[in-house]
Amino acid sequence: MSTYRVAQVAAAGGPFEVVEREVPQPGPGHVRVAVEACGICHSDAFFVNAGLPGVTFPVVPGHEIAGRVEELGEGVRERGWQVGDRVAVGWFGGSCGHCTPCRQGDFVVCQNLKVPGWAYDGGFAEAVIAPADALSRIPDALAATDAGPMACAGVTTFHGLRRSSARPGDLVAVLGIGGLGHLGVQYAAAMGFETVAIARGGEKAGLAKQLGAHHYVDSTADTSVADALQSLGGARVVLATAGNAEAITATVDGLSHRGELVVIGASPDPMGISPVQLIMGGRVVRGHPSGTAQDVQDTMAFSALHGIRPMVETVPLDQAGEAYQKMLSGAARFRMVLTTR
């Protein structure tokens, strides 16, 4: 039987190793995807380090997958998929269909969400078996290396903004210009928001403007982030992409009345927000999780239409360990993407 390669971690916190396995066959309702590219997300550390319950080893991470359908399982052709279709699979790697959120149509918060790299082997590999309901069609205009990151980083920022209370012309701030934030700034500007980029250091102002921001706030300056936002009229929405609870907290008083803080940057630390900060201005704080396969497809279509692309550094699968460490160090600019071809 033919084989394929995966980059796996054999034990919690261990090194990556590239090994060969027998090519698996997709079961009913599943497809085998020939992976062309897979982005490396900071959330992959949850699985590599067994930071979430139910992680089993060896683990193959990767939930920013782009490739082509290679083989169909029973019942998939009837859903409109064919061999050769270009597809992406993201954090939303399928849902159970029977829990209360699923029965309410809110599939991305499925209580049994099938995240690649957690529920099944992820995309740090030459092939992956995925449920058909996890598939998103990639537009012709997008390369696989662009599409992969949009299945997690892209959809999380795009969908977080479009589900927010902001409307064209409103002041919207994006906290952080990293793997998530550099896409968030582009989406905010393309959606017609008066866009503020917030990051550490004055040297990032040029990049912020290049991405489409109308204003830049240096979070290390003498003027606080909240005061800087209020001087612009107050932010209708702050999209917090930085995984730093203290930095997220510092934006709250920069919200306008009825302003909304949308948190997508993951951090285990508590935020220091008082009830008074929320009550007096009628402000809202909410977390936002990724998006469904349709949301990923919408993200890619919007990106193709507006010329929005992630900034990526491509690395061959053999160097998965080095690429993962570069992501962890914060040196990636801005998305590390593994390629198999």
**Alpha carbon distance 211, 178 (integer Å):** 12
**Alpha carbon distance 45, 48 (integer Å):** 5
Per-residue pLDDT at 1: 53
> Which amino acid type is present at position 210?
Q
Q: Where are the alpha helices (DSSP H) in the chain?
A: 44-48, 100-103, 144-149, 155-162, 181-190, 205-211, 225-231, 245-249, 275-279, 293-306, 320-329
Q: What are the Cα distances from residue 198, in Å, to 87, 183, 185, 242?
A: 33, 13, 10, 10
Ranges of residues in the chain whose predicted pLDDT is under 50: none
Per-residue pLDDT at 333: 87
Instruction: List all residues 6 or more positions away from 29 whose beta carbon is below 8 Å from its beta carbon.
Output: 73, 74, 75, 76, 131, 132, 133
Output the CA angle 161-285-179, nearest 5 degrees: 45
Report helix, strand or coil for 228.
Answer: helix
DSSP secondary structure letter of residue 8: E
Per-residue pLDDT tens digits for 184-203: 999 999 999 999 999 999 99
Per-residue pLDDT tens digits for 6-54: 999 999 999 999 999 999 999 999 999 999 999 999 999 999 999 999 9
* Predicted TM-score of the model (pTM): 0.96
Handedness of CA 275, 279, 283, 286 (dihedral sign): positive
